[in-house]
Structure 1
């Protein structure tokens, strides 16, 4: 990196960088006025990529996710089975829920009007609505329907009235309506309440719709009020209240991330402050270190919001660890200042450091920006956040430090100089230079061969046991659970789609193990089915009229069959009864009509996928889809990582030649393998994030070897101890930053932290390997 002697102009550089920062301050003020000071995104789904190949599938997922995520389910029960006391508790609890601004609507009871809405909607079309069992019976043995009517009339609990018998002589309609409720699990309507009975124990279900998204911080902050209400009701009535909903998981994730940001950010900052004060013993280095950190994080924050519109909490967790990396260049500058003593010249100092820190920045950016290959918005945001922050810290050192640190340091002693010199002398031993790296490499490679991979996307989310237990219990009580598994069905016409849904629904009923499911065709049969049903009922009226009069002993002739009244999707969606299932119908997307079938419980993915293929449907499971993508990109990033090593090696080759370029790249490679091996030994399965950790180990670790190699290049050995000190300080802050990630409750972040922690330690340990031994340099000069 050959530059003219007068290339560096301190004042011009400082002014240019100041103008850029002032421009970003202006942008920040604009963002604060338009988006708020903290436009933080907490939705875990925002980290995931859209399905660009199948827009219908993506819309299906978005619709279901939005419908399910903004609901909360409460289950109230009492141990003594005191029905009156339980109802009083539910009434007061539901009143309290309605008073909370957290909810837009609360449903504790089903009014008579709501119950009658079903009958009112379907009654005019009762002659064309039959269950599958009724279809079979009217086809093969229509006379049996007369006997069923007779049994109902003589059954005192059947509740058959003269009005019903007049309007529906063969009692077909009541069976159809009761059939619609089968998919609602264990939930029944009793005295207007949604109840479920399990082992003679009664539960009352209350549902509520949030007044916004589950991921809104303003709503999550209201959850303590809900908790206080639940505890008050439980204490007053001696009842149990359980709840489930996405908002509880989202709030836990938000609080967990905030805690991790505080731990990582504050821990890193305190560690850096202590190190700076202990090593440099002056306020000036401390102020400069804080300037680098603040500028880097500020630029990363502002530009990330400018590019993405908001910043994800996940990026902030990782971004907090950037504190330990952004200080690296400052350490090298400040340590050289300390080592130079009264001979310090800030301009010459930055000129001497410039080749090494510039190559260090480039190689680090290769590591960070390598994450851009993954089509995950969260990873892309994290990548750019880190790259921008590191670049801003670099320019702060290059442009501002020479002016701000012109005066020599008052303290001119390198701490632990003797220990540093001894450590460097140890690395002059040929046996150590061969045995230690080779031993670590063999052990690490052996560990890597034992690797097991788990690409489950759910590793990105901390799932507390208490919430999971409540969710399982509510699913068991109600018989209904929010499965993420969907069947997407499409056709060129509404009628064709409804017929297809009917066929698939029939096949699902025949299969074992799929359990309950919801399909719009159960509520709106196709016109073909309605017409066929109408013909069957018409045949029943014509063929069994005489028998009916004799058996039922009815004097009046049967009333004529009512006219055909077609039910349509449009009329169903316009009716209030569609509120609970209308989301299943997606309508027209990309010139095709689409609908989804949902399942009440988790079913075998392989069996459902095979069923979908055999029946012309598309199996959708967002978690499995993303997990598959994780596996694919884990393989791609492995290839990219090897390409990055090769690219860096070729970049270094012209300046350092083959042997030293190899010795610069080797320590980060061994460090990466060691990081994976230790992660495997802790029993944590590997995933995409561990390979992203290797990118960072490469980008950060190669900085350490570059500074030693640059000293060999310049023939300057007076800075060897100060270089090792700066590298050690950098390693300590990076270990502190990324090592704290290992404390995360989220498994993906936890394993990422372990890998980086181990890798940076090994990268620091092996960094002197890139410095050629003195005897080798002496022989090379003689030649």
Structure 2
């Protein structure tokens, strides 16, 4: 095949990949839900934790702070911002201290106010109560509150609407200036929003944050006021923006660096083009497999980690390029390399295969992506690439510099005792270094800066937002039983508030009483004739017209005859997310949650909870137990992976000495990487462990090819060239990842970069054929 024909086929392959990639990009949805990288919950606390992480009330809250102007101007912007967002379907509620009144209760629920309000639990609508209410309304109509009260009087002379709105207000509120919430210093106007999107719905949270910023820009006008958004949704937006920004510059530097490195190594502009074809094919095949097996929603961490497999995938075409020379057919070249290449691919794929049985959806996705990508890259190198390469390129074995380097390497000693001492020293560091070995805190995996987390805690304290660590749980057979249990707990919770153990609490029964409680309130409502007689007697003592309160009579009768509200009846109404976040229904069970604010006495709350059959759940403790379970599964997978790697290498080489020469560098590298991480006081997290397998795969490839080169000087030089290029490219990629501010990427980058260095050095010292197996003089050996 002519050079022009080879180039045409390469461009056709590239165009096909670009078209396939464009189609995939339109169909693929990336998920940021970290719960996909958590194991299946095994305990009730862990199950609740996973629900709370993404669905709980604390995870949906956004806190806004307006500053940079006078208090009155800030209050005006606060009111304008609230009005702009109040009807936005992306928010369940928007509160700034000016939400008492008609807006507090949905229109559809107002006839139910007598079933939802606690004021009738100890009273009745008799003539004396109505007369007292009408006297109070006369005073209200002559007060500054007349504009608020007047529309309510005909249908609600007892103002149950406002009483219910007051009952639904947060237990603790910030100070109010100009009818808006402000911080204690009076310099920042505060707003509290609850998003409809779940906490781990990055797209929904990003849309909500963007809507807030757009609304603020529209209402700011010429004011110098600035907006600050704090909360899980804002953090998710921050993480997404930061990750995209870092991925952009890291990817750009990687691309330029790799192209320059390939040009320098092979002195041909065609090599970068040909080298990218197996890599792109591998990535797209991995994505297609994920979409086929897991649907169109792929986790972002799977993609981030999966595409770092460039460190392994790139090795296959590079070994092929480095070994190609005049007089050797490309097809014969790839057949000679295939045993070593296929062994490395098979061993790494078998290692990742263990993650399919880890019970973790994210790791299953990672395993599928990795296995399909590695296999695709190897098959492309074996069956497609030989037809496209120049059959007589410059022979890298003829490089004087490479030969000089190899001669220096040959003079390196065989440090058998030294390696044993090094292994013992590394083992001592791993075992004896003080400090925690494992990182169990899920929050440490977030790239959110510490000052923002501190600001989150500060605003939650100002606004009385729910505590995100502790929550009370009540287990019951169904939703009704859970609501009844919650109502029984309320007096105890009120006592805890009075004693200062907590500042306040929130629970579903606050918004939706049990059916039993609603029916009791219905029975307290008078029949139509009795109510009309009581109202007539009350109106006689007032200046109101006798026919002014017909809407009130109709509403009471509707409440008396209405079926009690149940959780399902709230669907599509503003109260549904509030109740749904605090009342979790499953098959054959329900869990009522009580969110707490200002928790000061954990022991007192725990004692009170136990006395009523409730439990105080410590989210931090539950998350640590979940991580520990996850780690146990990862370690089991690692153990199986090590056995699989060893078995594959043994099956391929069938000689103990050769097997040890290949496996020893990889094993010692793993120990050295752990020692370095521990030596610098780095607590190991789950992504360090997963990265060790990737590093092991790299080491296996280096050792296999050094061992495969045998005693032939030219093959040794070509292998050295290939491994130098592979390791330099991989080191560049993962060193840049190690500089990332995203903890997951930093853990992967640092671990694999260390592995590259140690694997390269140890493969040279251990895996290359000993001097005694061939003539020590390379020229004589030739």
TM-score (norm 2): 0.76
Q: Distance in 2 between matches of 1:245 and 1:47?
A: 22
Structure 2 gaps of 5+ residues are 1-9, 124-128, 527-555, 777-782
Gap runs ≥5 in structure 1 = 1-16, 136-145, 539-561
Q: Deviations over 1:543-578 (max 9, x none)?
A: xxxxxxxxxxxxxxxxxxx99969944398489783
Task: Provide the C-alpha distance between the structure 2 equivalents of 1:419 and 1:406, rounded to a whole number of angstroms.
Answer: 27
Q: Does 1:434 align with 2:417?
A: yes
Task: Give the Å deviation of 1:173.
Answer: 8.6
SS at match of 1:405: coil
| Contact kept? 1:46, 1:378, Cα under 8 Å | yes
- The 5-angstrom pairing of residues 700-779 of structure 1 reads 700-712=698-710, 716-768=712-764, 769-775=766-772
Q: CA RMSD in A?
A: 5.1
> Which of 271, 282, 299 is the matching residue for 1:312?
299
Which residue does the alignment assign to 2:51? 61
SS in 2 for 1:668: helix
Matches within 5 A, 1:139-158: none
Pair 367,123 (structure 1): closer, same or farther in 2 beyond 3 Å: closer
Equivalences for 1:310-389 in 2 at 5 Å?
Answer: 310-337=297-324, 341-389=325-373
Is residue 599 from structure 1 mapped to residue 596 from structure 2 by the alignment?
yes
Alignment map for 1:613-652 (pairs within 5 Å) = 615-617=612-614, 625-652=622-649
Structure-2 separation of matches of 1:224 and 1:127: 37
Match in the other structure for 1:113: 102
Counterpart of 2:476? 491
Corresponding residue for residue 141 of structure 1: none
- How far off its partner does 1:79 sit? 6.2
Residues 1:284 and 2:270 aligned together: yes
Find the aligned partners of 2:646 and 2:105 in 1 and give their Cα distance: 76
Cα 1:625–1:387 change in 2 (3 A) is farther
Alpha-carbon distance in structure 1 between the residues aligned to 2:254 and 2:572: 58
- d(CA) in 1 for partners of 2:392 and 2:574? 80
1:39 alignment counterpart: 29
Q: Is the 8 A contact 2:62 2:230 kept in 1?
A: yes
Equivalents in 2 of 1:631, 1:38: separation in Å?
A: 32
Q: 1:508 to 1:664 in 2, by over 3 A?
A: farther
**Local SS of the residue matching 2:566:** helix
1:361 deviates by 0.5
Deviation (angstroms), 1:686: 1.0
Change beyond 3 A, Cα 1:510–1:103: closer
The 3 A distance-change label for structure 1 pair 699 and 518 is same
Q: Report how far residue 374 of structure 1 moved.
A: 3.6
Cα 1:676–1:63, aligned 2, differ >3 Å: closer, same or farther? closer
Whether the 8 Å contact between 1:420 and 1:724 is mirrored in structure 2 is no
Name the counterpart of 2:537: none
Cα shift readout 1:370-406 (whole Å, capped 9, x = no counterpart) = 4444433233323322332222111111001222225
- Matched with 1:74 is 64
* Aligned equivalent of 1:521: 509
Taking the aligned partners of 2:94 and 2:159, their CA distance within structure 1 comes to 34
1:275 and 2:261 are equivalent in the alignment: yes
Shift of 1:123: 6.2
Structure 2 residue 173 is matched with structure 1 residue 186:
yes
Q: Counterpart of 1:40 in 2: which secondary structure?
A: strand
Deviation of the 1:703 alpha carbon:
1.1
Q: Does the Cα contact within 8 Å between 1:360 and 1:703 map onto a contact in 2?
A: yes
Q: Contact (CA 8 Å) 1:320, 1:737: kept in 2 or not?
A: no
Q: What is the alpha-carbon distance in structure 1 between the residues aligned to residue 235 and residue 249 of structure 2?
A: 21
Cα offset for 1:758?
A: 0.9
Specify the SS of the correspondent of 1:597: strand
Listed as ranges, the matches of 1:527-546 within 5 Å are: none
**SS of alignment partner, residue 489 of structure 1:** strand
Equivalent residue in structure 1 for 2:374, among 390, 395, 416: 390
Q: Check 1:619–1:384 CA distance in 2 against 1; reply closer, same or farther (3 A cut).
A: farther
Maintained 8 Å contact 1:186/1:197:
no
The answer on whether the counterparts of 1:367 and 1:696 sit within 8 Å (CA) in structure 2 is: no
Q: How far apart in 1 are the matches of 2:351 and 2:388?
A: 30
Q: Per-residue CA shift, 1:628-679, capped at 9, x if unaligned?
A: 2322232343343234333333333352422331232111111112112222
SS at match of 1:342: coil
Question: Partners in 1 of 2:481 and 2:762 — Cα distance?
Answer: 68
Answer with 199-208 or 210-219: which moved more.
210-219
Equivalent runs, 1:399-478 vs 2, <5 Å: 399-405=383-389, 407-410=391-394, 412=396, 413-414=398-399, 416-427=401-412, 429-430=413-414, 432-435=415-418, 437-449=419-431, 450=433, 452-465=437-450, 467-478=452-463
* SS at structure 2 position matched to 1:462: coil
Equivalent position of 2:575 in the other structure:
578
